[in-house]
Amino acid sequence: MRKKMTFAICIGLLAAALTGCWDIHYLTKKKIINGISLDASEDGQVAAAVRTLILDSKGSGQFEVKDQLIQATGDSVLHIGSIMDSMLPGTIEATKTHVFIIGEELAKRGVMSTLEFFYRDPKGYLTSNILISKGLASEVLAIKSAENSPAAYSIKQMVEGAVAKTIIPEQTLFTLWSQMTAPGVDTVLPVIHKTKNKALVVDNIGLFDGSRYSGVTLSRDESMMLLLLMNKLNKRVLLDIPMNQSSNERDTDEAAAKMITFQVRKEKRTMDVSVDKNTQQIECAVKVDLYGDISSYPTDEGGKVDRGRLKKELAEALNIRASNTANKLLNANCDALGIGRKLRVSHPELWKSIDWKNEYKDVKLKTSVQVHIRSTGVIS
Amino acid sequence: MNHSVTRPQLFFLIVKTQIGIGLLSLPSKIQSSAKGDAWISVLMAGAAIQLLLIVYSQLLRKFPNQTLSDITIRLFGVYIGKAVNFIYYVLFVLIAGYAITLYVRLVHIWMLPMTPGWVLLLLIIGTGIYLALENLRVIARFFVLTSVLFGLLILISTLNFTNELQVANILPVGESGFAHMVQGSEKTVFAMFGFEVILYFAAQVQNNGKSLIRVFSFANGFVTLFYAYFVFLCLIGFSPKVLERVNEPVLYMFKGLTYQLFDRLDLIFLAIWIIPMTATIVSYLCLAGKSLTANQSSYRKLIWFSGVLVYLLGLYLSSMESIDLFRKWVEYGYLAMIAALPFLLWLASFLLKNKKKVGSA
């Protein structure tokens, strides 16, 4: 009997100490942030804008989701957070933030010190997408989305769509940290910008030089090419290639409008880094084999596709594109392909003796693209 | 009453005691010295422990059905033997107190920042004592049952292969040099503490007269590979600089994953990991009990007493700013007691053999 009593008391005591009493958080008392933009401000300060969700209960478990834009300036993210907290009802909660947009100027200053808080906080949500904006990031976040859905969700969906089509790399806070600090590789981030008619577009890639944004962006075509060179084909990629017209057609206006679309479904890439024994010249040869289908081939002639010729023409155009992309990488001093990483593994002695950041510009980067047409759709 | 355990149960008793809080921070600790070769350090530590296990099994073969506390008394006589056993008792309590402090700190940082430390301690010690009070067979059964979770943990961890992994981080193999690797494996041994339960638990295995070395080796092999796997995963998952800065890389790794259905896998992983961590506490409480008494009723009293001691120690250590000094003393002291002393005992058993026949019990 006595034993049972002590047991019951123990259980009672333990139950009384249940943790919910201390660490309980009510969703209704939270202000949930789902998008953050960070810009450089004067004196090294940071200007931030956030999108916070407003959940309007419509009864019977239904909620209407709206969002609101708040802006504040401060010295660090947490500092801004406290300022915003005082501006808003409820405690702000950045534990489910879907997008981070970094302004161009701040990115050039380096972003890691600004983002540090999210890495340190155990509740930090590191799978949020991170983007760079041309111009002010707050303007991007301030965009009115056509539907009533919160702006940050729209941006997130745009990013997801572009990632699936291999236009931009999938970058989250988590992947960013390792890439920024890894030796012998530089990171690239997707770039978001506003078009003249105030729509948002995510189809460029911004190149980083070490921990700072170099200011160089790749165009849509080059972005896709870079991802292919990096062997980062997602589900598919649609390569638009201006058609090489036969000589008699070349002068007409029509020529410019014609595009072949080649859909890549599979790629094989080899990357070889070698060092010339005599000149110590570092060479890198990237060879990409693309397998895919012709998705669009608008010709007037209406004839069959000459696969052999088309293959050659596509490869030619893509080769030019690839070498342009490679040149841009070298000029921006952005080792996105991770040549340094390969060099460190294959030539550890050389790696220790050189300053990679200075050496990278002089690397001979050779690219070659091979095209394999597997089908031409349902018509030939 | 038959309180014996089977060989598979012994396997799980060893494994569950070894795998605990140490693993979570291990990759960054070894990486700071062994760099990309940290995974080799783990294998080396496993090999070193294997040597020690051979000594253990030789020692135990000479004294079947006897725990370490019986052996010390037998070899050193009643007074010195009891004194040695008391030292063991104190160390077991200290190690349990140290482990529980780390445990509470971890839960405090990752999961329950607002909950006072004494409450967390109470909950852990409460469940720990509750299980440790039972006989070894019950404990073993619980350990076997919850070992299913290791499968789940490994399953969750394979999700990390969808992250960006850089095998180049560990290449070229052997770059950091032998000395650094040894330094790393030293740290690993500390995280692998728990194999010494053999010295107390093996006596209760059915037919322990036969060599148990196979069970020991399997357990050690499993733990070593389990550790090496997680260390490897962290090495290729993080850049070296990040790995150096993250305190619990094994948990942090899961922050990079998100799914439609699951999010914050780090918290899910930690919630499961709580069970092996608690199992470690249970094992040490049990060891503390067994080190001083063989009688079940005095064992129970001793468990209550040790539980209170561990609780107080945990409270004290939690209030300290840094427990590094404490950690160093306890770790090295403990290592001496579970590595050097059993070895001496084994040597001493040869001397004894000449005088009178031992192991005829």
B167 touches chain A (CB under 8 A): no
Residues in B closer than 8 angstroms to A126, CB to CB, are: 255-256
Burial class (CB in 10 A: 0-12, 13-18, 19+), B358: middle
Of A276 and B92, the one with more pLDDT: B92
Residues in A closer than 8 angstroms to B111, CB to CB, are: 23
Task: Return the closest-CA partner of residue A152 out of A320, A32, A313, A40.
Answer: A32
Most trustworthy range by pLDDT among A175-184, A291-300, B166-175: A175-184
Choosing among B239, B246, B257, which should be mutated to test the A contact, i.e. which has the most A CBs within 10 A? Answer: B239
pLDDT beyond 90 at B36: no
- Chain-chain contact of B239 with A178 (C-beta, under 8 angstroms): yes
Q: Are A243 and A259 in contact (CB under 8 A)?
A: yes
**Residue among B164, B240, B256 minimizing CB distance to A126:** B256
Interface size A-B, in CB pairs within 8 Å, comes to 77
Domain count, chain B: 1
Query: How do beta strands A129-133 and A364-375 pair?
Result: unpaired
**Residue among B123, B256, B263 minimizing CB distance to A17:** B123
The alpha carbon of residue B231 is apart from the nearest alpha carbon of chain A, in Å, by: 16
**Residue among B115, B238, B264 minimizing CB distance to A23:** B115
Query: How do beta strands A30-40 and A91-93 pair?
Result: parallel
B172 touches chain A (CB under 8 A): yes
Q: What's the mean pLDDT when you consider all of chain A?
A: 83
Q: What's the mean pLDDT when you consider all of chain B?
A: 86
Tens-digit pLDDT profile for residues B257-316: 888 888 888 888 899 899 989 999 999 999 898 888 888 888 889 999 999 999 999 999
**What does the pLDDT read at residue B361?**
41
Residues in chain A: 380
- Chain-chain contact of A177 with B109 (C-beta, under 8 angstroms): no
**What does the pLDDT read at residue A247?**
45
What single DSSP character describes residue A143?
P
**Residue among A22, A178, A338 minimizing CB distance to B242:** A178
B83 touches chain A (CB under 8 A): no
pLDDT beyond 80 at A145: no
**What does the pLDDT read at residue B90?**
92
pLDDT beyond 50 at A45: yes
- Chain-chain contact of A14 with B256 (C-beta, under 8 angstroms): no
- Chain-chain contact of B112 with A174 (C-beta, under 8 angstroms): no
Residue B208 belongs to what domain range?
A: 7-347
Tens-digit pLDDT profile for residues A279-311: 888 888 889 898 988 888 877 666 677 788 888
Cis check: omega of the bond before B116, within 30 degrees of 0: no
Q: Are A378 and A350 in contact (CB under 8 A)?
A: no
- Chain-chain contact of A175 with B171 (C-beta, under 8 angstroms): no
For chain A, what are the domain ranges? 25-218
- Chain-chain contact of B164 with A178 (C-beta, under 8 angstroms): yes
Whole-angstrom distance, CA of residue A306 vs CA of residue A142: 49
Share of chain A above pLDDT 90, in %: 2
Give CA separation, A211 vs A37, A180, B253, in Å.
Answer: 19, 6, 22
- Chain-chain contact of A178 with B238 (C-beta, under 8 angstroms): yes
- Chain-chain contact of B115 with A124 (C-beta, under 8 angstroms): no
CA A151 to chain centre: 18
**What does the pLDDT read at residue A56?**
73
B308 touches chain A (CB under 8 A): no
**What pTM was estimated for this model as a whole?**
0.88
Band of the pLDDT at A17, cuts 50, 70, 90? low
Whole-angstrom distance, CA of residue B249 vs CA of residue B272: 16
Residue B359 inside a domain? The answer is no
**Residue among A22, A341, A348 minimizing CB distance to B116:** A22
Type of residue at B353? K
Residue B45 inside a domain? The answer is yes
pLDDT beyond 90 at A153: no
- Chain-chain contact of A182 with B175 (C-beta, under 8 angstroms): no
Residue B213 inside a domain? The answer is yes
**What does the pLDDT read at residue B313?**
92
pLDDT beyond 60 at B360: no
**What does the pLDDT read at residue B359?**
46
> In chain A, which residue's Cα lies nearest the Cα of B123?
A14
Q: For the residues B184-213, what does the mean pLDDT come to?
A: 82
Pair of tokens at residue A358: 């200075």
**What does the pLDDT read at residue B1?**
44
Here the CATH number for the domain that contains residue B155 is: 1.20.1740.10
The alpha carbon of residue B221 is apart from the nearest alpha carbon of chain A, in Å, by: 30
Give CA separation, A355 vs A351, A352, B346, in Å.
Answer: 8, 8, 56
pLDDT beyond 70 at B167: yes
Q: For the residues A240-262, what does the mean pLDDT come to?
A: 63
SS3 B177: coil
Q: Are A193 and A204 in contact (CB under 8 A)?
A: yes
pLDDT beyond 90 at A54: no
Residue B245 inside a domain? The answer is yes
> In chain B, which residue's Cα lies nearest the Cα of A9?
B126
**What does the pLDDT read at residue B97?**
92
Which of A118-127, B148-157, B168-177, B259-268 shows the lowest per-residue confidence on average (mean pLDDT)? B168-177
**What does the pLDDT read at residue A244?**
60
Tens-digit pLDDT profile for residues B10-22: 889 899 888 888 8
Residues in B closer than 8 angstroms to A174, CB to CB, are: 163, 255-256
Whole-angstrom distance, CA of residue A34 vs CA of residue A29: 16
What single DSSP character describes residue B339?
I
Band of the pLDDT at A250, cuts 50, 70, 90? very low
> In chain A, which residue's Cα lies nearest the Cα of B107?
A122
Name every residue in A having a CB less than 8 A away from some CB of B: 10, 13-14, 17, 19, 21-23, 122, 124-127, 172, 174-175, 177-183, 338, 341-342, 344-345, 348
Give CA separation, B31 vs A191, B24, B163, B220, B236, in Å.
Answer: 35, 13, 20, 22, 12
Band of the pLDDT at B323, cuts 50, 70, 90? confident
**Residue among A127, A181, A345 minimizing CB distance to B239:** A181
Coarse DSSP helix, strand, coil percentages of chain B, rounded to the nearest 5 percent: 80, 0, 20
The alpha carbon of residue B112 is apart from the nearest alpha carbon of chain A, in Å, by: 6
Choosing among A112, A125, A178, A185, which should be mutated to test the B contact, i.e. which has the most B CBs within 10 A? Answer: A178
Q: For the residues A30-42, what does the mean pLDDT come to?
A: 86
**What does the pLDDT read at residue B104?**
92
**What does the pLDDT read at residue B210?**
65
**Residue among B115, B168, B240 minimizing CB distance to A19:** B115
pLDDT beyond 50 at A146: yes
